[in-house]
Structure 1
Amino acid sequence: MLNVIKKAGLSLAAAGTVALFAFSASAAPVIYNDSIADGTAAFDNAVTGVGGVVQTDTLSNLSNGNTWNRGDYTISSTNGTNRPIDNNYNGNLTGNSIGINPTNNAAGSGLTFTFNTAINAFGLEVGDWATCCFPSALYIAFDGGATRQVAVANNANDNPGFAKDGVFTNFVAGIDTSATFTTVTFYGDGVGEYLVAGSVIRYATLDIGSIPDVPEPFAAGLVLFGLAGMGLYRRRRQAA
Structure 2
Amino acid sequence: MLILAISIVLSSLLLAGCTSTSVSTIYLLSLSYTTPSTSHPNAAQVNPSISNTFSHLVSTNSTTPSLEVRVGYMGFCMPNPDSGWICSRHASNLAHLLNTTQPVSSDPLNLLWIAQNFQSQIVFDGLMFSTVPLVFIAILLLATFPGWHEEEDSEGSEREVKPFPSRPVSYLVMALLTLASLLIFVSVFWQHISSSAAVTMGQSLSYGTVRGKVGTVAAVLGWATVFLDILAAVAIFIMIMTIRVLAETFG
Shorter-normalised TM range: under 0.3
TM-score by length of 1: 0.25
Higher percent of residues as helix: 2
Rg larger in structure? 2
TM-score by length of 2: 0.24
